Amino acid sequence: MALSDIILASASPRRRELMGLITENFSCIESHVPEICPPGTSALEECQLFARQKCEAVAAGHPESAVIGCDTVVECRGEALGKPRNREDARRMMRLLGGNEHLVHTAVCVSFRGKMHCFTATTAVLLFPMGNGELEEYISTDEPYDKAGAYGIQGTMSRYLDRLSGDYFNVLGLPVSRLWRLLREIGAL
């Protein structure tokens, strides 16, 4: 299989950049899968469902390729935090996350040679609380609005990182080393 036969089912610039650490020979196709979960779905189940759906949607049109679908969800106190809907939602999320350990789950599904290979990586993160002025300054930027949990650890929020346990790249949205190992193991690299 040629390396150019790898497709990342994502339009995320962060995932594209991280995928470049695995191989430069890949393409990106957005899945356009609506992210709708049945009631009672846990945060972990949610990201696993969406990763599989994204992978399947793109793999249906590219059966000869290795297709990678991913989804990241931030979980705090049992609540799944996706991308904030608006400024008030971002404010609520940041207040919830500050000073409370939370989990970042990234599910990855790879469709290759008629088989689906899936795993989920989880990283525990603790952010320092933000003061009211800091919080208002942060949510007035564009940074929180296209990210699960209203933050990207690689951006301004890095100032508030107390500690992290697990894969840093997972918090960015792609567990690089586990995906690289999986792709090699199944013969896609």
- The pLDDT of residue 119 is 98
pLDDT score recorded for residue 182: 98
Q: What is the pLDDT of residue 3?
A: 40
| Residue 105 phi, psi dihedral angles, 5° rounding | -105, 130
Specify the pLDDT at position 4: 52
CA distances (Å), 170 to each of 34, 85, 104, 162, 178, in order? 22, 23, 7, 17, 10
- What was the pLDDT predicted at 35? 84
- Mean pLDDT along residues 85-95: 95
The model's pTM is: 0.92
What average pLDDT score do residues 69-95 get?
Answer: 94
Q: Give the pLDDT of residue 36.
A: 86
**Phi, psi values for residue 176, rounded to 5°:** -55, -55
| Residues contacting residue 132 through CB under 8 Å, at least 6 positions apart | none
Give the model's pLDDT for residue 2: 45
State residue 7's pLDDT score.
97
**Per-residue pLDDT reduced to its tens digit, 166-179:** 999 999 999 999 99
The answer to whether 110 and 117 have CB atoms below 8 angstroms apart is: yes
- Cβ neighbours for 45, distance < 8 A, ≥ 6 positions apart: 37
Tens-digit pLDDT profile for residues 100-155: 999 999 999 999 999 999 999 999 999 999 999 999 999 999 999 988 899 999 98
Reported as a single tens digit per residue, the pLDDT across 18-65 is 999 999 999 999 999 988 888 889 999 999 999 999 999 999 999 999
Residue 33, φ and ψ in degrees, nearest 5: -85, 130
CB 70 within 8 A of CB 107: yes
As annotated, the active-site residues are 71
- Sorted by where each starts, the structural domains of the chain and their CATH numbers stand as 3-185 (3.90.950.10)
Residues in the chain: 189
